[in-house]
Amino acid sequence: MGLLSDPQSRERVLLFLIRHNSKLCILCYALGLVWFLLLPLPPLSAPTYISENALLPGLVKREFVGGPQALSLSREFAANKALVGGLPVEWLNKTMTSLGLEVHTQTFAVDLPFPDEINERYHVRGTNVQGVVRARRAASTEALVLHVPFLPEANDQAMGLALSLAAHFRKQVYWAKDLIVLVTEHDLLGIQAWLGAYHGINLTSLGVRSSELGGYCGALQAAITLQLSSDVATSIDLQLHGPNGLLPNLDLPNLVHHLCLHAKVLCTVQELLPPQEDNAWWQSMHIMLLQALGQASTKPASEHGLFLRHRVEALGLKAINSHRQEKASLEKLGRLLEGVFRSLNNLLERFHQSFFFYLLPSLQSYVSIGNYAPCAAAILVVLFLCAVELWAKLNPEKERRTREAAASNPASIPWLSVIGSIVIAHGLGIALYLGPLVAHQRAANYFDLPEDEAVSLTALGIGVSSLSLPHRGSTPQGWIWLKLFALLELGMLLLALDLLNFPLAFMLAIPTVPAAVVSQPSHKTASIALLLVASPAVISLMGLAMKTELNPHGPTSGQLGGFIGLFLRWLQCLSQSILEHQSLGTNLYPLFTLGLFPCWLQLWHVALWKE
């Protein structure tokens, strides 16, 4: 650290940085990109293994023979579902009691801020049913959850399988943790209501009114969410990420993968086949990009994600029935789940051995945080290098002063225009955050629009109007101060985000870093072009386009109406992100409006700086 205290060596380092600044910036940026592209290959990705010795996967003999019972229960459930027209609470209650479970129901009510067009709900009322298999000789201090979300048109076989498994588990004496079979309504809202009532805490911005929950079973150790809509399945897809980019402990997907190999059931992730030898790099990259996009969208992959926020390791299992030859019957899937739960039962300590931050290029290999962190660090260092150069320009020392003798006289900071710009940018960010919620009612009435469109168009309106603010500055060099501040703010924001949600930070950094570095009044066209590409709106649009393109089983972009379709879906995504932020507590919308947009607007001011 003598380097930092010695003024002469400091000066030498500074000179080096200034002289080679653009080369260093380009080098670091390229390094970050290339590093990311090399992640799926060894040695950056390592083969997966189970770190927790206590799991003992597959050692115990599976005894589940309830396949026919599962099938008949799923038929009964489907029939009762059609009869009642929703979740058949009475039938579930009666069936679970006859199987020997302790049944509790919870009714909940949530009022969304505006109607949700995709799921067609506004004021949500629902019931969650929970059946508990108490552990015999344990003190109900820990519990495992088998979660079956209620879907109006699907998931009958999952219900049947879960009930049949519960019946089998009830007769066994080897449980050290209670088992909760949980049926929730209204997908994410129902499970959020249950988790909030169970843990006595509300992590969302909405008030959830719920009845008193019964049947507490202690701390939840792990949860599995099951989605199964066919009598046989060809593969099991693991759904990993939760809200805000959270991931379950790597031991849990490794455990399920190990047991699938044992049972000879195909196990996939991101609904893609495991990478083959001939095309390994692109296929691994495809899987990894899908995971990164999923985490970057901050939306949970399935209902299991909401458990992750409460520090309960959870995994979503979705059974897929495609045209492959080998089919797994309900009994085989039941044995697989039995193996998973018996391994989870063996645990004494909560999951802590394996990684919590990772990227999976496939189920056979993983990239740990130590291996992927350098790419984000390399790209973000560019911002700080540029900031160093700007700072040096503002505070020239003796040697540099001689070169810019005329133009120097750094004078004082043009406080008014710089502070004014900063304040206006942040104020507009807050307006963009609060505006749609506050003003959508008025906009809907005035413009005669459906509510959620009103929301997204209000947001769009505020955003576009903010571009046209005047940019008159007082001094010709004043923009340097503003750019310095904006660079540092952007750097700190992305660095902090990098620690929480790496894919989101990386994907934001790729367009914004060049735009931030290039934007100057002297390079007006280039900076405006780059800034437009890096604007929050266009970034999210491109993200959506990438997701549509990479999605292996969804409709192609052509089928969805080309560019116009993309734009309309983007508007819907805008209102959905506001809704999810309010009802689930995801952070994409506040990040974009309160974090990214002010930085971007400041850089926009810099680019259009007029003396």
Residues of this chain that bind other proteins (CB under 8 A): 1, 4-5, 7-8, 53-54, 56, 59-61, 100, 134-142, 170-176, 199-201, 203, 212, 214, 216, 218-219, 309-311, 342, 345-346, 348-350, 352
Closest CB 64 distance from other proteins, rounded Å:
14
Contacts of residue 61, defined as CB under 8 A and 6 or more positions apart, other chains included, come to none
Query: How far, in Å, CA of 380 to CA of 24, rounded?
Result: 12
Given the complex with other proteins, which of 299 and 342 has the nearer CB atom? 342
Is the previous residue joined to 43 through a cis bond, with omega within 30 degrees of 0? Answer: yes
Helix pair angle (369-394, 21-38), 10° resolution:
170
Given the complex with other proteins, which of 172 and 572 has the nearer CB atom? 172
Residue 12, amino acid: R
Q: For residue 257, what are the CA distances in angstroms to 47, 48, 170, 200?
A: 13, 10, 26, 34
Given the structure tokens 């409709």, which residue do they identify?
555
Given the complex with other proteins, which of 134 and 426 has the nearer CB atom? 134
Closest CB 380 distance from other proteins, rounded Å:
19
Q: For residue 93, what are the CA distances in angstroms to 132, 160, 392?
A: 12, 14, 72
Given the complex with other proteins, which of 230 and 353 has the nearer CB atom? 353
Query: How far, in Å, CA of 258 to CA of 273, rounded?
Result: 16
Closest CB 360 distance from other proteins, rounded Å:
24
Closest CB 599 distance from other proteins, rounded Å:
24
Burial 53-63 (b: 16+ CB within 10 A, else e): eebebbeeebe
Query: How far, in Å, CA of 358 to CA of 353, rounded?
Result: 13
Residue 545, amino acid: A
Closest CB 382 distance from other proteins, rounded Å:
22
Closest CB 177 distance from other proteins, rounded Å:
8
Closest CB 108 distance from other proteins, rounded Å:
16
Query: How far, in Å, CA of 224 to CA of 259, rounded?
Result: 14
Given the complex with other proteins, which of 97 and 322 has the nearer CB atom? 97
Neighbouring C-beta atoms of residue 48, cutoff 10 Å: 21
Alpha helix locations (H) across 448-501? 451-466, 478-500
Given the complex with other proteins, which of 2 and 43 has the nearer CB atom? 2
Closest CB 391 distance from other proteins, rounded Å:
14
Given the complex with other proteins, which of 350 and 547 has the nearer CB atom? 350
Given the complex with other proteins, which of 203 and 510 has the nearer CB atom? 203
